Amino acid sequence: MSAQANSLAKNFSISFPMSRYILFFYVPFFISLILSFLILSPLAVSNLQAATPPPQPQSGPGGSDYPHAAIISSVHGQGNLKYYLFEPDEPKPESAPLVIFAHGWGGINPTDYGSWINHLVRRGNIVIYPVYQTYTDMFTGFSKYTANCMTAIKDALRELKRPGHVAPDLDKVATVGHSLGGLLAVNIAASWAAEQDGAPAVKAIMSVEPGGVPALPLEDLSLIAADTLLLTVVGDQDQIAGSRDARKIFYRTSQIPPQNKDFITLVSDQYGEPALIADHFAPTCELPIGSSFLPSLSEVFGSLKYATNALDFYGTWKLFDALTEAAFYGKNREYALGNTPQQRFMGEWSDGRPVQELVVTDQP
């Protein structure tokens, strides 16, 4: 046999066992690895998809333990003096605390905040929803919005004295507002404080993402009583209002001591699906409510439709529920004020991971 043939035979005798080794060991290994990946990867994907936001808690501030099964809605007035009334029912109470809800610019249809209003009323509150603007004065009527609110509120109080309505408990009055309504919430409290005709005192105020409209003047906020409980709330991804007006409100109410107010930031969390995005429209939570032929914001701006989620349950709803309960009944203060674990807690994703907590400060 030639030297070249001997060399080929030698190489073959070495390579054949090696190829057999590869064939019988590595190939099955890689096949099993591929099969494992194909089998397990859907489970891994499903586990990632399974991280959903926390549902509404069953009890406590922001919870679903509603003492009333239904609400009664009615609409009164005309134009920019129009207002909606929402009253608890089933069972119908003789009296109830009063919440004045100031909507954002253009939110003249209460559907835009329907879930929140439904929550407030079924918890046992009367809600007055002043419209304060029309489509014809949305760009020109800013200087009149506070006065329009006050006129509508006073008319609503007269309406509530009529038979068939739930009587408002005027020792338990609170205001809450979003965006432009966040400015109006403090203006209403200051305007009532300035009156000398026995107007009710506002005991609790929550201003959510106030601003976005520089043309609305603030009233003299130093007139608000020092024992009022106050929260200013901003969103970390609010590109419309930001935090400037919220800080302005916080510092212009210096008569309210630090233990009675907080500056709170809603924090976005994109860990699960759907993500929790604390932008300017996070406080809107659409639910058909009341009677209106006017389009809702989501009908005008389809992409801005937001579902009710943990930013509501553990954020704005929890905070305002606890704030009013602390002001009216002296309970659940730890859920609203003081930078406590209960105040900051935002629930857990379905896999147990905590949602990003609220950021609370007295020095914004």
Q: Read off the pLDDT of residues 41-74 as tens digits, 9 standing for 90 and up.
A: 444 444 446 799 999 999 999 999 999 999 999 9
Sign of the CA dihedral with 267 first, then 309, 93, and 130 last: positive
Give the C-alpha separation, 267 to 180, whole Å. Answer: 21
**pLDDT value, residue 248:** 97
Order the strands of the 95-102 sheet from edge to edge.
Answer: 70-76, 83-89, 126-130, 95-102, 167-178, 204-208, 229-235, 261-266, 359-361
Percentage of the chain with pLDDT > 90?
A: 75
Largest alpha-carbon pair distance within the chain?
124
Candidate from 1-5, 103-107, 111-115, 252-256 with smallest mean pLDDT: 1-5
What single DSSP character describes residue 102? E
Q: Average model confidence (pLDDT) for the chain?
A: 87
Candidate from 45-54, 228-237, 273-282 with smallest mean pLDDT: 45-54
Give the C-alpha separation, 27 to 339, whole Å. Answer: 60
Average pLDDT for residues 196-200, to the nearest whole number?
76
Candidate from 38-47, 54-63, 172-181, 355-364 with smallest mean pLDDT: 38-47
- Residue 276 · residue 310 · CB < 8 Å: yes
Give the C-alpha separation, 17 to 12, whole Å. Answer: 9
**How does DSSP assign 52-89, residue by residue?**
------SSSTT-S--S-SEEEEEEES-GGG-EEEEEEE
Give the contacts of 339 (CB within 8 A, at least 6 positions apart).
Answer: 262, 360, 361
- pLDDT category at 2 given cuts 50, 70, 90 is very low
**pLDDT value, residue 360:** 99
pLDDT > 70? residue 30: no
Candidate from 57-61, 137-141, 338-342 with smallest mean pLDDT: 137-141
**pLDDT value, residue 181:** 98
What are the structural domains of the chain? 1-49 (no CATH), 70-361 (3.40.50.1820)
